[in-house]
Amino acid sequence: MSNFEELMDSLTRTLRGEEARKAVERPLPTPFSFKWHPVIGCRMNVGAVCANCRARKESWEEFQKSTAGYWVAKPTEVTFHDSQLMEPIRYRKPMDIEVAPLSDLFQPDVSDDMRHKILSVMKNAPQHRFFIQTKNPAFMKHYFKTRTKLEWPLPNVWVGTSVEDQASYNARVPHLLGVPAQHYFLVFEPLLGPIAPEMIQLDTFDRLWPFRQFVQAYEYMDEQGQRHWSSLDAEPLMRTPRIEWILIGGNRGENARPPHPSWVRKILRQATDEGIPVWYSGFGEYAQISNPDLQNDETLIFVSPRGEYRGRGAGSATNLLSATVDGETSEIMTRKTVPARRLLLDGKHYLERAPLPALITPEMDSVQALAARLKSRV
């Protein structure tokens, strides 16, 4: 190889390295335009999902770095921040705003007065869409039905709940669909176990089909002890609101537990069948890998469809384990990857945002479209 060729080869490797560096440093896409922190801190404890709470960790890191401003309380203390209350009003450009992502507006430590002030800002900022997520949809339903002082529902507010496994899905989704609202979304994050999203059997033995928007009536139990329900083609016992957007994501943090890809595929398939857009935030701290380094990658982890974790990444002494246990194929995953690869499911991105209302489109909001409508009326 000549000196010139060596020089060109060196330059090419340098440029490729620069492109790789930029790819790693490029900010990852996010489902929301803005995070609004009128309340910070959470004292809820609803089980295993709270043991490795990412929001609590992030708020603690911000608290440690902060010397002034609104980080004035520990994240385990629920604090209302007047200095941040009017933030959405400052922005005229429409945004999708995540409300109190480092807290929960419907935990017991948030007062009705705090909620009223926050909701009043939403009412006075109709240019934005506000997304409220809670792990306590039962109280959210109670609050909006009996305690709110505002005229409710607001057309620019979306209500949602987060679920992590089958038990939380069965418990929280029926309450969410009972909240009086105009828009609903559902968050499967962090996904810690397999979920069958098609149907929920209620305490009354009626069956709720959340994605298909109806409740199937329970009819009777026969002499053999078999229960019977009305036909799925019959008039339902009740119609339920439409879930308009779904977010899915894995566990994050030092002790993260990635979801098995089959769990994600099942939810994605159900949403796709019903025409519901999905935003997939990835496997958390891990990514799928087709050619694992069994000898040297200490972060490898084997995830079974039942949620069993093995491998060095799970604390085992060795990675040399069979990928198949009891006839089930485990997924091999690694932490040794760039953040962008963690967003891929089977090599694809699923980054659909919350849909705009049918009568509001970007084209209608443009100056040209407005001028054309005015001209047509002359």
Measured in whole angstroms, how far is the alpha carbon of residue 245 from the centre of its chain?
10
User: What DSSP state is assigned to residue 73?
Assistant: S
Query: CB-based contacts of 53: which residues, under 8 Å, 6+ apart?
Result: 42
Distance in angstroms (rounded) separating the CA atoms of residues 251 and 190: 5
pLDDT along the chain (378 residues), means of 10: 56 50 66 93 77 63 52 69 92 96 93 96 97 97 96 97 97 98 97 96 97 97 96 96 97 87 97 97 93 86 86 54 58 90 94 79 46 53
Assess if residue 22 is contained within a domain: no
State in Å, rounded, how far the first CA of the chain is from the last one: 74
pLDDT computed for residue 307 by the predictor: 85
Per the structure block, which two tokens stand in for 281? 């935030």
- Give the pairing type, strands 34-36 and 96-99: parallel
| Owning domain of residue 294 | 288-335
pLDDT computed for residue 320 by the predictor: 45
The total of structural domains in the chain comes to 2
155 with 208, same domain: the answer is yes
Assess if residue 23 is contained within a domain: no
Instruction: Please give the model's pTM, rounded to 2 decimal places.
Output: 0.84
Q: φ, ψ for residue 110 (rounded to 5)?
A: -95, 125
Measured in whole angstroms, how far is the alpha carbon of residue 172 from the centre of its chain?
15
258 with 271, same domain: the answer is yes
Is residue 57 a contact partner of residue 253, using CB atoms and an 8 Å limit?
Answer: yes
Q: Tell me how crowded residue 100 is: count the other CB atoms within 10 A of its CB.
A: 25
pLDDT computed for residue 246 by the predictor: 98
pLDDT computed for residue 69 by the predictor: 47
Query: CB-based contacts of 371: which residues, under 8 Å, 6+ apart?
Result: none
Name residue 162's amino acid: S
83 with 192, same domain: the answer is yes
